[in-house]
Amino acid sequence: MKPGLQFRLNQQLALTPQLQQAIRLLQLSQLELAAELRQLAESNPLLEFAEDADAEQDETEGEDEFENEFDIPTSTSASSSDTSSSNENDEAPEWTEADISSDQPIDFSSSNGSGNGSQSNRDDEGMEPQNAAAESLQEHLMWQLNLTPMDPRAKAIATVLIDALNTDGYLGESLDAILTALPPHLKATLDEVEIVRRQLQHFDPAGVGSIDLQDCLRAQLEQFDPSTPQRDLALRIVQTELELLARNDMAKLARRLHATEEETAAAALLIRSLDPRPGAAMDTTPVEYVAPDVYARKDGTRWRVVLNPDSQPKLSLNHHYCSLIAQARSDDASWMRGQLQEARWLIKSLESRAETLLKVADAIVRRQSAFLDYGPEAMQPLVLREVAEEVGMHESTISRVTTRKYIHTPRGTYELKYFFSSGVSTEDGGSASATAIQAMLRKLVDGEDPRKPLSDQALAEELHNKGIQVARRTVAKYREILRIPSSSERQRNS
């Protein structure tokens, strides 16, 4: 065969760096986007945030106002003459060499500049009180430990136990692991660790240092006065029949304990008054708040969507550096032109991100306007493909836009993905959203007779009466998603 040249014409999709950047920015959450842009702005001198530009402008204006207000002189001779005349007019006291060398402190409050002292007092009075840092569970327990009369050996064991507690107040490690973590010179035994642990359970909050739920409830019950009604019966339930109590089968529980149902119900009520997570109340983990990306507001009879201006980063070009491109040398000018082009691409990608987010959110709100008007029971079935066809984008783009993006509505703040759910057929040939069915289930359970709760089959029949064809196993699945206990666990005798 002879070697030869052949020409073939084909097409292929290539992602340019600019398109890759736009796709990356599209899927970032609000906090991730702010961090990403801050990093890009630090590496590109031609980019700046609007607040940074305003701060520089305010600083420059502040310097000008300072110079104008105090009439700062431009020459040394003028400065000396102005100073002398000022002293003469103000009749300021003259400080002698003896006064300056004296060990006594100089009182500046008597001079005309005495406003310094009073101003300082006013500033101190006007300072806003700062909230003290929240006390953690370990700090609270260590404070009690230092006030408890214990020998150094027991205090060392208690310190290791306190360090091993999780946020709920339980021991995160076994006693054997804690024994291994103790200093070798203590030569402590497992029985000593258990004794100190039992002492720790009587600290505040009661029940900390427990191994499991049964141990935690027992420790709290033991601190009740022995004359507390049904205390002993509650201890027997916790030690032997805790699983039966979870199923709320009071009749069987009373037979097992040889007690009346009234006594058993009173003991169960006492147990339910205990705290199964004693350390959670002192959890110092900061609360994270969600800032919405878009707002849904009703304008007459129509719902409208607007972007949250505070969530949109305000990037702009630094005009000072842009003006230096023409004055720079060839190599520097070439590099700065490249940075300018990247800055323009980035700003354009941000504008495209905002437009896409607004377009997708508007399409979702139009489809789910019934939810905004009437609540979760009116949620309509919606999938990514339907929104993608409406806005003329790919499903993967819709998925990126709706991930970790939030919309604020009169009914609350939701992630955009919340409005997507599969449909279930109805008798009239339509479909009902899975979210709407779950809302109906929640309403049926909330309105049931606690002495005769509805089973999964009964719930399915109630939904059939509303025209929704749903199987019992589907009801069970939705009930588990909503974390609703089974009918036997929901039953109450009174």
Q: Which phi and psi angles does 136 have, rounded to 5°?
A: -80, 165
pLDDT at 436: 87
Q: Is the pLDDT of residue 296 over 90?
A: yes
Residue that the structure tokens 């900390």 belong to: 208
137: nearest Cα among 177, 168, 173, 160: 168
Position 493 confidence tier, pLDDT thresholds 50, 70, 90 = low
- For the segment 158-186, the average pLDDT, to the nearest whole number, is 89
Average pLDDT, the chain: 80
Q: Which pLDDT does position 422 carry in this prediction?
A: 77
Q: Please write the tens of the pLDDT for every residue from 133-165.
A: 678 889 999 999 999 998 888 999 999 999 999
Confidence of residue 305 (pLDDT cuts 50, 70, 90): very high
Reported as a single tens digit per residue, the pLDDT across 254-286 is 898 888 988 998 999 999 999 999 988 887 777
Summarised one tens digit per residue, pLDDT across range 417-467 is: 999 987 776 766 666 788 888 888 988 988 888 878 888 898 988 888 888
What's the per-residue H, E or C state across the chain?
A: CCCCCCCCCCCCCCCCHHHHHHHHHHHCCHHHHHHHHHHHHHHCCCEEEHHHHHHHHHHHHHHHHHHHHHCCCCCHHHHHHHHHHHHHHHCCCCCCHHHHHCCCCCCHHHCCCCHHHHHHHHHHHHCCCCCCCCCCHHHHHHHHHHHCCCCHHHHHHHHHHHHCECCCCEECCCHHHHHHHCCHHHCCCHHHHHHHHHHHCCCCCCCCCECCHHHHHHHHHHCCCCCCCCHHHHHHHHHHCHHHHHCCCHHHHHHHHCCCHHHHHHHHHHHHCCCCCCCHHHCCCCCCCCCCCEEEEEECCEEEEEECHHHCCCEEECHHHHHCCCCCCHHHHHHHHHHHHHHHHHHHHHHHHHHHHHHHHHHHHHHCHHHHHHCHHHCCCECHHHHHHHHCCCHHHHHHHHCCCEEEECCEEEEHHHHCECEEEECCCCEEEHHHHHHHHHHHHHCCECCECCCHHHHHHHHHHCCECCCHHHHHHHHHHCCCCCHHHHCCCC
Domains of the chain by residue range: 137-282, 294-308+355-490
Q: Which residue has the higher pLDDT, 249 or 254?
A: 254
Q: In the chain, what percentage of residues exceed pLDDT 70? A: 80
Residue 360: pLDDT over 50: yes
- The Cβ of residue 111 has, within 10 Å, a number of other Cβ atoms equal to 14
| pTM for the model | 0.61
Q: Using pLDDT thresholds of 50, 70 and 90, give the confidence band for residue 56.
A: low
Q: How far apart are CA 25 and CA 400, in angstroms?
A: 10
Let me know: does 395 contact 388? Beta carbons within 8 Å.
yes
The span from the CA of 39 to the CA of 369, in Å, is 39
In the predicted model, is pLDDT for residue 122 greater than 80? no
The pLDDT assigned to 91 comes to 45
Residue type, 358: L
**Higher pLDDT pick, 258 / 59:** 258
